[in-house]
Amino acid sequence: MKLWLLDADILIDFLSCDLLDKLVTTHEIYAASSVIDEVKYFKRSGEKIDARFRERYIQTGLVREISATAEEASRLLNRFSENLRFSIHAGEIESLAVLIRQTELIFCTCDAAAIRILPLLDLTERGISAETLLRQTGLYKPGLKEKHSEEYFKSNIAIGREQKIYHL
């Protein structure tokens, strides 16, 4: 599976749980340039660890970096109302713009705003919760945060579908 990790939060969470190193052995992992630059530190067992993400994952080829053009990001933003534009961050904008272009990617995020945008972009079927990803990969461990659950993902998809009806 070509897996698109949509935001810094999911990368940091997977690093914190010691799951990213396992995921890169089973999937092709991709992340946006702006997201990669956001991953500075993570905590594991209460210790703050320097991620050195670019050095450890990008330069070694374990995670592939993709960028969106300014035009792609602009086209994406033009599809949304002003209120919706302000609810998503730069990394998510770039990630969603790449996701539209790279149709073979399946993405994983735990950001509610990004999940809710999927129905507006008709990309719901290309999203996956962290819980489902980890179950499919055999890496699931009880005790995930609520934002990683399938229930959280589906709930935010439902909200996005309601917003789509309102947005139309």
DSSP-based three-state secondary structure for 106:
strand
The residue-averaged pLDDT of 74-82 equals: 84
Domain range enclosing 14:
2-167
Instruction: With H, G, I as helix, E, B as strand and everything else as coil, classify residue 143.
Output: coil
User: Could you give the number of structural domains in the chain?
Assistant: 1
83-94 b/e with 16+ CB inside 10 Å = b?
Answer: ebeeebbebbbb
pLDDT digit string, tens, across residues 138-162:
999 888 899 999 999 999 999 999 9
Q: Which long-range contacts (CB under 8 A, 24 or more apart) does 159-167 make?
A: 159/112, 159/116, 160/115, 160/116, 160/117, 160/118, 160/119, 160/120, 160/124, 161/119, 161/124, 163/84, 163/116, 163/119, 163/120, 164/119, 164/120, 167/80, 167/81, 167/84, 167/120
CA dihedral 46, 49, 54, 59 (to 10 degrees): -110
Tokens standing for 5? 């990790």
Q: How many CB atoms lie within 10 A of CB 163?
A: 18
Q: CB of 88 within 8 A of CB of 133? A: no
Look up the pTM and report it: 0.89
Residue 134: pLDDT above 80?
A: yes
Phi, psi of 142 (to 5 degrees): -60, 155
What pLDDT is recorded for position 2? 84
Residue 124 pLDDT grade (very low, low, confident, very high; cuts 50, 70, 90):
very high
pLDDT > 90? residue 22 = yes
Three-state secondary structure call for residue 154: helix
- In this prediction, residue 167 carries a pLDDT of 53
CATH number at residue 45: 3.40.50.1010
